[in-house]
Amino acid sequence: MSQLFKPSMNTLARVSLSCALIVPGALVVGLSSITRSPYNTKVEVPLDQPVPFSHTHHADELGIDCRYCHSSVEKSGFAGIPPSHTCMSCHSQIWTNSPLLEPVRESYEKDIPLVWNRVNKVPDFVYFDHSIHIAKGVNCNVCHGPVQKMQMTWKGKPFFMSWCLDCHRDPGKYIRPKDEVFGLFRKYQESSKGANLTGSEYSLMATAHYKPSKEDQARGRKLVQEYGIKVETLSDCYICHR
Amino acid sequence: MSKPPQDRFIGGKQSYESIDRKIGRVVLDQKSHPPIWLITFAMAFLLVQVLGGAVLWLLYKGVGIWGINQPAGWGFDIINFVWWIGIGHAGTLISAVLLLMRQQWRNSINRFAEAMTIFAVMCAGMYPLLHTGRPWVAYWLMPIGPNTLGMWPQFRSPLVWDVFAVSTYMTVSALFWFVGLIPDFATLRDRAKNKIVQVVFGMLAMGWRGSVRHWLRYETAYLILAGLSTPLVLSVHSIVSFDFAVSIVPGWHTTIFPPYFVAGAIYAGFAMVLTLAIPMRAWYKLKDFITDKHIDWMAKVMLATGLIVFYGYILEVFFGWYSGNTYEIAMIKNRMTGPYAPFYWSLITCNGIVPQLLWIPKVRRCYPAIFVISQFVTIGMWLERFIIIPVSLHRDFLPSSWGMYIPSFWDIAMFVGTIGFFIMMMFLFVRFLPMINIFEMKELWQRQQQAEHADHADVGAGPVPAHDAAGAGHDKENAQ
């Protein structure tokens, strides 16, 4: 009987055996990298919008407070997307003929809301309430990134469950005095864009990577005690999955 | 005089060549398959289409298409999971436990039973995955960390232990099966005439030449795998039973569950081995290898495990009464006289009473009778899980949360579909892989020859091989 396989098949056999080890490992590493990449998370990927609204211009350059447009953020679960009426409170006076604002004027005249593309989504099986987070002193930028630095708005954080739990397991890291939520924005505005902010405050307001200082975290943990936040139940399933 | 044929594990006049030929023929000579192969395969294939439809519709609509409800949150999905995984257990028992106990009669049925194990575990595995409702995130069940959830599975839950138990079971069984096939792949490679068949079996044989070193390592590896599989026979179904026993539902919260589940699994498994072996050995003329004695012994194992299971049923009733617990007593009463009472009494008949016929030696020699009794046991074991799961759940603690469990069309479609899948896989296996372990049969045959020759040196029962101690090392003569 002649040889069934050539000697080169030995090499091929060894290669396929090592592939049996390498391929599953590469798959795990590859898939988890894709999951964490902006391709999946959409972090720092600006979305197209019907009107090219710039948070940089309105919040950073003009200094308009978040609550002027997201008016229900302190009182309700939903922060609120402004009606065209809110836009027109200024734009009936300035840039009245700008072609970029044509969809806003049309929406206002016809009384049909603008359809914005949603940037920050939580799945429908997650209960989330803005008001409690603001009331306990979590700054907007902790979850939304440096919004006042965004020309077109992007998602600031990946919204993985591990990311939610990072704070829910140790809320002291991000909890601050209540007046620092919007107060920090004022401080940032009044100090020629952050000159008198501490390093960690500046990292929160102007960069995508907030680095809370040790003192801030210690202060936060004291506040957790003061507010009576029950950390031991804060990561129970039912807190978010009701 | 040589022993009467029905008392030997290999019948007829055999030689190394005839064993190779008779078992290898089924794979290498595709014309040797009777028409019944195609008929059964076609029917099974149709049922697989039903399974595909049921699964697609389930993925599209969600588990609401099943009959599950509140309070009966587990229905056909878990019944069939436990049923299938139980059927697999005979394969592991035959291949691992009987190997370690040096029970040579296992040699002609182990390959077959191991294949059955793997296909049964495949059927079983579908159910828990699909019943999660979102099988695409099934990897959440595995402790893969660091993950984006920031969570580990709940290690205190037996459902998580089950994931490990079943996945380990599948891996070890598949490995054991494949390793056991390697020398036979080499035999088939050497006997095949067709170039493609040679290459395919050659690759599967992974360069097996049958050298002494190969055999030495092979036997070691096989023993290690048998050692790994043996605890699985006990652990897998014990852990499946924990899914119930760890909870506080009356009818589930029972300490006898682990041994009772394991015995039930082996019982159902032997019933399935008999169901498949009796027709196969007739269709493929393998009565010399799966002898009357094999069938007789398997029937005895089935009877023994059946008695353990029946004892479990009696003890459940006793515990209910002896506990004095209102809910336990109500549960037993509900089983015996409640809306599902016909199922309970059918269970007692199928699993407790009918198999007692196997005490009679004449019945153990009547193959239609054994086949029918095996069907009773298979149905009985399914009914057992039906009684345990929805019948315990449908009467909740508060009468206001009482309900009924009625399977939907899709429950039945999926169940029938997995039966089709199992039969299809078994039939493909029989057609394309050697269903009896060739090299172990040669080893067994040689031992049988030696023993008979030593006993009756003057008569001489067939050709006496003059052979090396490595008994089964015969393939090296055939090797390239």
Residues A88-129: pLDDT tens digits?
999 999 998 899 999 999 999 999 999 999 999 998 999 999
pLDDT more than 90, % of chain A? 71
Q: How far is A214 from chain B (nearest CA, A)?
A: 23
Tally of CA atoms within 13 A in the half-sphere of A59 that contains its CB = 27
pLDDT value, residue B7: 61
Q: Do B361 and B300 meet the contact criterion of CB atoms below 8 Å apart?
A: no
pLDDT bin (cut points 50, 70, 90) of residue A165 is: very high
Average pLDDT estimate for B294-308: 92
Closest CA to B138 of B126, B121, B120: B126
Q: Tell me the C-alpha distance between B330 and B335, whole Å.
A: 9
Residue A81 has pLDDT above 80, yes or no: yes
pLDDT value, residue B293: 86
Average pLDDT estimate for B97-112: 82
Q: How far is A13 from chain B (nearest CA, A)?
A: 8
**Inter-chain touch B199–A163, beta carbons under 8 Å:** no
Q: Which of A11, A162, A169, A170 to mutate to test the interface with B (most CBs of B within 10 A)?
A: A162
Q: Tell me the C-alpha distance between B278 and B287, whole Å.
A: 9
Instruction: For residue B480, give the nearest of A1, A36, A164 by CB distance.
Output: A1
Output the six-digit token pair for B193: 């005439």
Q: How far is A5 from chain B (nearest CA, A)?
A: 8
Residue found under tokens 């060549």: B17
pLDDT value, residue A189: 85
pLDDT value, residue B478: 41
pLDDT value, residue A46: 92
pLDDT value, residue B213: 94
pLDDT value, residue A129: 95
Residue B58 has pLDDT above 60, yes or no: yes
Question: What's the burial of A29, exposed, middle or buried (CB within 10 Å: 0-12/13-18/19+)?
Answer: exposed
**Inter-chain touch B151–A3, beta carbons under 8 Å:** no
Contacts of B146 in chain A (CB under 8 A): 162
Residue A138 β-bridge partners: A175
pLDDT bin (cut points 50, 70, 90) of residue B349 is: very high
More confident call, B51 vs B458: B51
Helix then strand count (H, E) for chain A reads: 14, 0
Output the six-digit token pair for B228: 């790994």
Instruction: For residue B202, give the nearest of A5, A10, A162 by CB distance.
Output: A5
Contacts of A5 in chain B (CB under 8 A): 199, 202
Calculate helix-pair angle for B292-323, B326-337, nearest 10 degrees. 130
pLDDT bin (cut points 50, 70, 90) of residue B477 is: very low
CA-nearest residue to A41 within chain B is: B148
Helix then strand count (H, E) for chain B reads: 18, 0
Instruction: For residue B149, give the nearest of A3, A4, A161 by CB distance.
Output: A161
pLDDT value, residue B166: 93
First to last CA, chain B: 39
Q: How far is A238 from chain B (nearest CA, A)?
A: 15
Give φ, ψ of B206 to 5 degrees. 55, 45
Measured between CB atoms, does B148 come within 8 Å of chain A?
yes
pLDDT bin (cut points 50, 70, 90) of residue B103 is: confident
CA-nearest residue to A1 within chain B is: B480
**Inter-chain touch B150–A162, beta carbons under 8 Å:** yes
Q: What is the dihedral of CA B309, B313, B319, B321, to 10 degrees?
A: -160
Output the CA angle A27-A31-A37, nearest 5 degrees.
Answer: 145
B1-38 pLDDT, tens digit per residue, is: 344 445 667 777 778 888 888 888 888 888 878 888 99
Average pLDDT estimate for B213-238: 90
Contacts of B196 in chain A (CB under 8 A): none
**Inter-chain touch A163–B147, beta carbons under 8 Å:** no
pLDDT bin (cut points 50, 70, 90) of residue A1 is: low
Average pLDDT estimate for B77-84: 95
The residue ranges of every structural domain in chain B are: 35-145+153-184+214-438
Average pLDDT estimate for B141-154: 86
pLDDT bin (cut points 50, 70, 90) of residue A194 is: low
Q: Do B70 and B390 meet the contact criterion of CB atoms below 8 Å apart?
A: no
Contacts of B147 in chain A (CB under 8 A): 32, 162
Closest CA to A87 of A117, A51, A56: A51
Q: Do B267 and B309 meet the contact criterion of CB atoms below 8 Å apart?
A: yes
Q: Tell me the C-alpha distance between B34 and B219, whole Å.
A: 35
CA-nearest residue to B198 within chain A is: A4
pLDDT value, residue B143: 87
Residue B461 has pLDDT above 50, yes or no: no
pLDDT value, residue B135: 92
**Inter-chain touch A166–B150, beta carbons under 8 Å:** yes
- What letter represents residue B442's amino acid? K
Instruction: For residue B480, give the nearest of A3, A160, A163 by CB distance.
Output: A3
Q: How far is A6 from chain B (nearest CA, A)?
A: 11
CATH (residue range B35-145+153-184+214-438): 1.20.1630.10
pLDDT value, residue B370: 94
Residue B464 has pLDDT above 70, yes or no: no
Q: Tell me the C-alpha distance between A112 and B261, whole Å.
A: 65
Q: Tell me the C-alpha distance between B477 and B480, whole Å.
A: 8
Measured between CB atoms, does B206 come within 8 Å of chain A?
yes
Average pLDDT estimate for B365-392: 94
Q: How far is A240 from chain B (nearest CA, A)?
A: 13
pLDDT bin (cut points 50, 70, 90) of residue A134 is: very high
DSSP state of A61: I
CA-nearest residue to A165 within chain B is: B150
A·B CB contacts under 8 A: 36
DSSP state of B70: S
DSSP state of A192: T
pLDDT value, residue B460: 44
Output the CA angle B185-B189-B193, nearest 5 degrees.
Answer: 145
- What letter represents residue A227's amino acid? Y
Q: Which of B139, B148, B200 to mutate to test the interface with A (most CBs of A within 10 A)?
A: B148
The length of chain A in residues reads 242
**Inter-chain touch B207–A13, beta carbons under 8 Å:** yes
pLDDT value, residue B242: 94
Closest CA to B132 of B166, B163, B171: B163
pLDDT value, residue B453: 75
CA-nearest residue to A12 within chain B is: B203
B246-258 pLDDT, tens digit per residue, is: 999 999 998 899 9
Residue B117 β-bridge partners: none
Q: How many CB atoms lie within 10 A of CB A78?
A: 13
Q: How many CB atoms lie within 10 A of CB B329?
A: 15
pLDDT value, residue A193: 66
pLDDT bin (cut points 50, 70, 90) of residue B456 is: low
**Inter-chain touch A165–B151, beta carbons under 8 Å:** yes
Contacts of B186 in chain A (CB under 8 A): none
